[in-house]
A = this chain, B = another copy of it.
Amino acid sequence: MKTMKEIAKMAGVSQSTVSRVINNNPNVNPEIKRKVLEYIRKYNYQPNRMARSLVKNKSFLIGIVLPELTNPYFPEILESLEEEANYYHYNIVLSITYGSLQREKEQIEMLLSRRVDGLIINPTDLSHVEHITKIKSILPTVICAQDLDGFDYVTVDHYLAGKIVAKYLINKGHINIGYIGYLKDKKLKGFYEEIIANNLNFNEDNYLVAPEEISDFTKSSEKKLLTKIIDNNITAVYTINDIIATKVINILIKNKMKVPDDVAVVGFDNTIICNLTNPPLTSVAQPTREIGRKSVDILIKKIEKTNAHTEYNLDQIFLPPRLVIRKST
């Protein structure tokens, strides 16, 4: 690749002039500009962005740190992060931690040394974030798809999702509704509160099985699930994600129960799976694209503010979930 100096020499002008042409500085003689552009095209010259970044102290690079890409949820977010960043002429340096805190720390240092202009991260472990706290003070940082006190973040409102699902199922006439998920999950909190608010019961009988029991899919957990459903006359089940939901459907059908006639099933994440199950799965859609987009918007706002040392407001955004109704309910 040629350098600016070489282009300048060939065009018979100074390096400054070539620089002006490239940066579209209006103070250039059109005739000269034409000639310089000619050489630039001829040699397919691309200015070295690293050199530019060095001078301008700005890389137009955003560091993205994600735990994994196996769950289809993250690729969707990543796509929208990339797309939105591109819109602002930023590019993305991707790093994946595979759930290793050690790696997360190393990768953040790497991104720092590469002088990214900002960081978007989905932390591996919300109870170990000191390194992120530290970074935050020297680099604009946004937490993506999680909420973390003291940070800027963009995430879906799990609490609201729970309420929406409960409301929907109650309206459909369900009285005994089961839940398969974690107890500490905000999905449950909203769900529970809405059920109680409607004077329905929700106790440990409604907490059917742990997600792991479904994932492992043993005979005994299958039996436990069915027993709980039958004994408590459960007619609807709210699950923590589409994969669990699909397994529940398969267990029910295998045991001659009808979905949704005997038991309705609701998934979470609204993944591609929903259209493939039989019947198609009702599921809570996270606004993944918007989470990605918003994360970038906020980050870039912070980046540009950094120079102007304006006020420091935290952006903490909960985006609304959306229930996508299909045949399983």
Residue numbers of A with Cβ under 8 A of B are 1, 44, 46-51, 53-54, 59, 61, 64, 68-70, 72, 74-76, 78-79, 82-83, 86, 91-96, 98, 109-110, 112-115, 134, 138, 243, 246-247, 250, 253-254, 272-273, 276-278
Q: Would you give the shortest CB distance from A115 to chain B, in whole angstroms?
A: 6
Q: Are A113 and B278 in contact (CB under 8 A)?
A: no
Q: Are B114 and A49 in contact (CB under 8 A)?
A: yes
> Within the complex, which residue of B91, B243, B254 is in contact with A95, where a contact is CB–CB below 8 Å?
B91
Q: Are B94 and A47 in contact (CB under 8 A)?
A: no
Q: How many copies does the complex hold?
A: 2
Contacts of A49 in B (CB 8 A): 113-115
Contacts of A243 in B (CB 8 A): 272, 276
Known A79-B69, A82-B95; judge A54-B48 contact (CB<8 A).
yes
Q: Which of A76, A109, A273 has the most CB of B within 10 A?
A: A273
Complex alpha-carbon distance, A166 and B326, angstroms: 36
The 4 closest A-B pairs by CB, nearest first: A69-B75, A46-B113, A75-B75, A246-B276
Other than the given A82-B94, A92-B93, A278-B278, 4 more pairs (CB < 8 A) read A48-B115, A51-B54, A82-B96, A243-B272
Nearest B residue (CB) for A86: B95
Contacts of A86 in B (CB 8 A): 95
Q: Are B1 and A138 in contact (CB under 8 A)?
A: yes
Nearest B residue (CB) for A81: B94
Known A46-B113, A109-B46, A276-B277; judge A92-B94 contact (CB<8 A).
yes
Nearest B residue (CB) for A63: B91
Contacts of A273 in B (CB 8 A): 272-273, 276
Q: Are B272 and A250 in contact (CB under 8 A)?
A: no
Q: Are B76 and A69 in contact (CB under 8 A)?
A: yes
Complex alpha-carbon distance, A254 and B278, angstroms: 9
Q: Are B96 and A94 in contact (CB under 8 A)?
A: no
Contacts of A68 in B (CB 8 A): 79
Complex alpha-carbon distance, A96 and B87, angstroms: 12
Interface pairs (23), CB distance under 8 Å: A46-B109, A46-B113, A47-B113, A50-B53, A50-B114, A54-B54, A69-B69, A70-B75, A70-B79, A72-B75, A74-B75, A79-B96, A82-B95, A86-B95, A91-B94, A91-B95, A91-B110, A91-B114, A92-B94, A243-B276, A273-B273, A276-B276, A278-B278
Q: Would you give the shortest CB distance from A41 to chain B, in whole angstroms?
A: 12
Known A1-B138, A114-B49; judge A91-B93 contact (CB<8 A).
yes
Complex alpha-carbon distance, A53 and B50, angstroms: 8
Complex alpha-carbon distance, A72 and B272, angstroms: 10
Contacts of A61 in B (CB 8 A): 93
Complex alpha-carbon distance, A61 and B111, angstroms: 12
Contacts of A95 in B (CB 8 A): 82, 86, 91-92
Complex alpha-carbon distance, A122 and B35, angstroms: 36
Q: Are A96 and B113 in contact (CB under 8 A)?
A: no
Complex alpha-carbon distance, A49 and B93, angstroms: 14
> Within the complex, which residue of B48, B113, B276 is in contact with A250, where a contact is CB–CB below 8 Å?
B276
Contacts of A50 in B (CB 8 A): 50, 53-54, 59, 114-115
